[in-house]
């Protein structure tokens, strides 16, 4: 009787086993043999894997998003290294690479600029940016982008000269920067153009939004529009929260504005969004929810919302990041900042949603389609 | 459907891939499956027992048999058992488990391991 060996399994049967492996072993076992490596590297493998994960999530947790992290960066007075908080206990989505150690060594901490599709855009400086990296913090792969044609002091926002916007879009299809001069109605009247928040919020069909708290405006730019269309949107006019900090975030792909308001008997977090596409175009906000929150004598600020569940909010409370569950009204501390991470009371903390993909997105190989945007205003 | 294929198997004397030993494991499965379908704990125990008593070679035969008999639940069960057995193990362990050899060039394997270094985190000790 012939001895059966594992190699006797046809590709189809071997795939039946491989498809039941979680993310990390699936990648690790590419190293077992050429045959295993070949089968796992096929695009159909990743597709079926993603479908299986989505189905599993649907059955187990109807409103569960793919795992995500919040990255916090304390900006001022000096940028601190990026902290992250992962909200997934699954070891498949943990990686020591989340400390961004794989980037080339630099005396200053990496500046986080934005993320999309599980990829992160970083730079090495806040001013005079020209070193840009696109990386996948789960896998530790990264690529250094060619230098943009212009390097001004402030990028993503510039200094006032005229009402014109120079938009530079990097496309990894052509490996080149494309420049567009765009007219943005009203931009010359914005009080302090340097105070736009440096990282964009991607929402409403991948349009990028930069908020300027001092003037109460949002700069919205559509990188997929061939003219690089930009416009200004007003932040919601909330009578209860006129002088309060307005946090811009995104939930289920829709732009959200969160304001802590003092109502008569207690504090409420007001959540504003655009109900319909026409409202988004017209800039017409609607108040969709009010979530109670405990009064506090200390600094309290909303910094982000959950990417899928609009009732879960993340607050910056004194030296802690706190999760507020609007369903149960319970709070939970998710992160403590060390004493020396705060320069002073005016420290700016930005928090960014980083949504992991079920199957890691490869970093752009220059000459294969992804789009990045770099705005200079001058 | 299941009974038709089993009959065909017994009549097919030229089939070298499925031995008697397998028949005694695979055929009682439908009954066991029905009995303990609702009870996940027992299935887990059965899975553990199977792994302890059955060598990797045998598992391969079980998979081939289940596939030949077109017995989908058994195929799913055996494949899951194998996947669970190897998921937290190192590359070397898995090769030994299945009696596989590496067919990479000397530098190639090292390069791959470096590229997927992130996936080697959290592996069991051999």
pLDDT bracket for residue B14 (50, 70, 90) = very low
At CB < 8 A and 24+ separation, what contacts does A208-211 make? A208/A114, A208/A373, A209/A233, A209/A248, A209/A255, A210/A156, A210/A157, A211/A235, A211/A246, A211/A248
> Based on the domain organization, do B101 and B80 belong to the same domain?
no
A2/B56 Cβ within 8 A = no
> Based on the domain organization, do B36 and B81 belong to the same domain?
yes
Please name the residue of chain B whose CA is at the shortest distance from the CA of residue A97.
Answer: B118
CA distance B57 to A319: 57
Half-sphere exposure of residue A337: CA atoms within 13 angstroms, side-chain side: 23
Please name the residue of chain B whose CA is at the shortest distance from the CA of residue A96.
Answer: B118
Averaged pLDDT score across all residues of chain B: 72
Residue from B64, B87, B95 to probe the interface with A (highest A Cβ count within 10 Å): B87
Q: Identify all chain B residues contacting A1, using CB atoms and an 8 Å cutoff.
A: 16, 19
Q: How many other C-beta atoms can be found within 10 angstroms of the C-beta atom of residue A23?
A: 19
> Based on the domain organization, do B27 and B54 belong to the same domain?
yes
A32/B91 Cβ within 8 A = yes
* Helix ranges restricted to H, A142-198: none
CB-based contact (8 Å) between B61 and chain A? Answer: yes
At A323-358, the pLDDT tens digits run 999 988 888 988 887 766 654 555 677 788 888 888
Q: What is the structure's pLDDT at A320?
A: 84
CA distance B120 to B126: 13
pLDDT bracket for residue A104 (50, 70, 90) = confident
Span B62-71, average pLDDT: 83
Q: Identify all chain B residues contacting A140, using CB atoms and an 8 Å cutoff.
A: 117-118
CB-based contact (8 Å) between B92 and chain A? Answer: no
At A230-240, the pLDDT tens digits run 888 999 999 88
Span A143-152, average pLDDT: 64
In chain B, the number of structural domains is 2
Tell me which of A155-169, B20-34, B105-119 is least confident.
A155-169
> Based on the domain organization, do B106 and B122 belong to the same domain?
yes
Q: Pairing between strand A300-305 and A164-171?
A: unpaired
> Based on the domain organization, do B104 and B63 belong to the same domain?
no
When CB atoms are compared, the residue of B84, B101, B109 closest to A31 is B109
Domain ranges, residue B96: 88-126
> What radius of gyration, in Å, describes the C-alpha atoms of chain A?
23
> Based on the domain organization, do B52 and B14 belong to the same domain?
yes
> Based on the domain organization, do B19 and B77 belong to the same domain?
yes
Q: Identify all chain A residues contacting B86, using CB atoms and an 8 Å cutoff.
A: 21, 25, 29
Half-sphere exposure of residue A137: CA atoms within 13 angstroms, side-chain side: 30
B119/A21 Cβ within 8 A = no
Residue A30 pLDDT more than 90?
yes
> Based on the domain organization, do B79 and B92 belong to the same domain?
no
A1/B60 Cβ within 8 A = no
> Based on the domain organization, do B124 and B68 belong to the same domain?
no
Closest CA to A190 of A218, A154, A167, A230: A218
At CB < 8 A and 24+ separation, what contacts does B19-22 make? B19/A1, B19/B61, B21/B58, B22/B58, B22/B61, B22/B62, B22/B65
pLDDT bracket for residue A193 (50, 70, 90) = low
> Based on the domain organization, do B7 and B66 belong to the same domain?
yes
Closest CA to A158 of A7, A376, A371: A376
> Based on the domain organization, do B46 and B76 belong to the same domain?
yes
With 0.80 as the threshold, say if the pTM is over it.
no
When CB atoms are compared, the residue of A1, A23, A95 closest to B19 is A1
Please name the residue of chain A whose CA is at the shortest distance from the CA of residue B68.
Answer: A13
Please name the residue of chain B whose CA is at the shortest distance from the CA of residue A35.
Answer: B103
Q: What is the structure's pLDDT at A111?
A: 80
A8/B80 Cβ within 8 A = no
B17/A4 Cβ within 8 A = yes
B86/A21 Cβ within 8 A = yes
């Amino acid at each position: 009787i012939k001895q059966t060996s594992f190699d006797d399994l046809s590709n189809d049967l071997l795939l039946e086993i491989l498809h039941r492996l979680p993310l990390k072993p699936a990648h690790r076992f590419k190293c077992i043999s050429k045959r295993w490596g070949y089968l796992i590297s096929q695009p159909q493998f990743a597709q079926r894997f993603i479908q299986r994960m989505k189905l599993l999530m649907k059955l187990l947790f109807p409103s569960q998003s793919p795992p995500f992290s919040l990255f916090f960066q304390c900006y001022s007075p000096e940028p601190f290294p990026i902290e992250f908080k992962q909200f997934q206990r699954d070891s498949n989505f943990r990686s020591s690479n989340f400390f961004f150690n794989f980037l080339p060594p630099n005396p200053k901490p990496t500046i986080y600029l934005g993320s999309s599709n599980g990829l992160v855009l970083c730079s090495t400086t806040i001013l005079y940016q020209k070193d840009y990296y696109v990386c996948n913090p789960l896998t530790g792969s990264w690529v250094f982008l060619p230098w943009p044609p212009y390097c001004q002091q402030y990028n993503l926002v510039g200094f006032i000269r005229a009402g014109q916007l120079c938009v530079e879009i990097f496309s990894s299809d052509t490996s080149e920067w494309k420049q567009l001069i765009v007219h943005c109605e009203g931009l010359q009247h914005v009080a302090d153009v340097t105070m736009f928040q440096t990282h964009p919020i991607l929402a409403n069909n991948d349009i990028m939004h930069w908020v300027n708290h001092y003037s109460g405006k949002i700069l919205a730019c559509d990188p997929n529009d061939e003219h690089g269309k930009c416009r200004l949107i007003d932040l919601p006019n909330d009578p209860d929260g006129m002088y309060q900090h307005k946090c811009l975030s995104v939930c289920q792909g829709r732009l959200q504005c969160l304001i802590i308001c003092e109502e008569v008997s207690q504090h409420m977090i007001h959540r504003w969004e655009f109900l319909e596409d026409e409202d988004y175009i017209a800039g017409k906000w609607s108040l969709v929810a009010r979530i109670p929150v405990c009064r506090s004598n200390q600094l309290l600020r909303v910094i982000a919302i959950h990417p899928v569940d609009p009732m879960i909010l993340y607050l910056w409370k004194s030296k802690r990041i706190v999760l507020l569950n609007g369903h149960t009204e319970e709070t939970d501390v998710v992160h403590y900042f060390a004493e020396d991470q705060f320069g002073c009371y005016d420290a700016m903390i930005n928090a960014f949603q980083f949504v992991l993909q079920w199957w890691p997105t490869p970093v752009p190989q220059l000459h294969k389609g992804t789009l990045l945007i770099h705005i200079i205003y001058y | 459907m299941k009974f038709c294929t089993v009959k065909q198997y017994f009549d097919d004397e030229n089939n070298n891939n499925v031995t008697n030993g397998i028949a005694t494991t695979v055929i009682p499965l439908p009954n066991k499956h029905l009995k303990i379908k609702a009870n996940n704990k027992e299935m887990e125990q059965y899975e553990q027992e199977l792994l302890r008593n059955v060598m990797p070679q045998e598992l391969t035969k079980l998979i081939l048999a289940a596939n030949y008999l077109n017995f989908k639940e058994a195929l799913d069960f055996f494949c899951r058992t194998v996947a669970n057995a190897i998921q937290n193990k190192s590359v070397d362990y898995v090769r030994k488990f299945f009696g596989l050899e590496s067919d990479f060039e000397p530098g190639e394997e090292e390069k791959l391991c470096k590229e997927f270094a992130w996936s080697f985190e959290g592996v069991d000790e051999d």
